[in-house]
């Protein structure tokens, strides 16, 4: 619906890749619906994935012994985080929907995107014990993981050699997004695009565009271990 804000966090080095095309389709389709769409193109931004002392501007809370979690939490409260983090947090804060677009690396997200999670989702901003899971601080938002795999759909079936694809989604969707209170829409998975015809890849893009047309009517998945492990 018009007026909705979407942040696409995108991790691929090549705009002409299928991931690049999936990202472009999302920007076009959602913009057409009247949503305002922002893209964090992590490789293009040369986003820093490492969680270091540089993320805190000015004096440390405890200069004797460095504790990243404590220091970023304290820095967040006094507005002392580095400008790249403040910038990303502002985008997250404004977004109704977060779309993560990436190729699956080693059963997970690429390091640059994991670094985005590590650095941006600071305590005090995204979660604050006991305010986590259903009461996480980002609880009015939706997230969707859209990614490509190297392996085929059969390999990622329950009885397949790689195990159910949902097992891999547990740390990403549940351990990160749901922990921060975000409700999660069903993932969008393009299996083994490198091993299919150009025709099939076009179909993948069309299917994504189709899904985006009715995305806002979708119900989030059931945020429980059953969804992943049943």
For residue 186, CA distances in Å to 32, 166, 172, 221 come to 22, 10, 12, 6
Say how many domains are in the chain: 1
Report pLDDT for 43: 98
Domain interval for residue 139? 5-229
Looking at residue 40, its pLDDT comes to 98
pLDDT of residue 1: 73
pLDDT at 2: 80
Here the CATH number for the domain that contains residue 56 is: 3.40.50.360
Question: In the numeric block, which tokens belong to residue 21?
Answer: 């095309």
Sorted by sequence, the CB contacts under 8 Å of residue 145 that are 6+ apart come out as 100, 169, 172, 173, 184, 187, 188
The reported pLDDT for the residue numbered 151 is 95
pLDDT at 139: 95
The pLDDT, as a whole number, for residue 150 is 96
- How many Å apart are CA 55 and CA 60, to the nearest integer? 11
CA distances in angstroms from 76 to 91, 124, 163, 165, 190, listed in the order given: 15, 7, 39, 35, 37
pLDDT tens sequence for the chain (230 residues): 789 999 999 999 999 999 999 999 999 999 999 999 999 999 999 999 999 999 999 999 999 999 999 999 999 999 999 999 999 999 999 999 999 999 999 999 999 999 999 999 999 999 999 999 999 999 999 999 999 999 999 999 999 999 999 999 999 999 999 999 999 999 999 999 999 999 999 999 999 999 999 999 999 999 899 999 98
């Amino acid at each position: 619906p018009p007026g909705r804000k979407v942040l696409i966090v995108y991790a691929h080095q090549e705009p002409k890749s299928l991931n690049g095309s999936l990202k472009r389709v999302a920007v076009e389709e959602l913009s057409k619906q009247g949503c305002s769409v922002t893209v964090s193109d992590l490789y293009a931004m040369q986003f820093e994935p490492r969680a270091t002392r540089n993320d805190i501007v000015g004096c440390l809370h405890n200069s004797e012994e460095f504790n990243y979690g404590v220091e970023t939490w304290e820095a967040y409260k006094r507005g002392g985080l580095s400008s790249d983090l403040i910038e990303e947090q502002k985008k997250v804060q404004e977004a109704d929907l977060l779309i993560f677009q990436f190729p699956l690396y080693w059963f997970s997200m690429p390091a640059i995107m994991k670094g985005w999670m590590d650095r941006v989702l600071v305590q005090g901003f995204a979660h604050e014990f006991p305010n986590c899971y259903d009461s996480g601080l980002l609880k009015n938002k939706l997230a969707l993981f859209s990614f490509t795999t190297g392996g085929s759909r059969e390999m990622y079936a329950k009885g397949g050699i790689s195990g159910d694809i949902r097992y891999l989604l547990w740390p990403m969707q549940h351990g990160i997004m749901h922990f921060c209170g975000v409700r999660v829409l069903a993932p969008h998975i393009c299996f083994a695009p490198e091993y299919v015809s150009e025709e099939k890849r076009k179909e993948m893009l069309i299917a994504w565009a189709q899904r985006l047309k009715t995305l806002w009517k979708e119900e989030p998945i059931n945020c429980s271990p059953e969804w992943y492990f049943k």
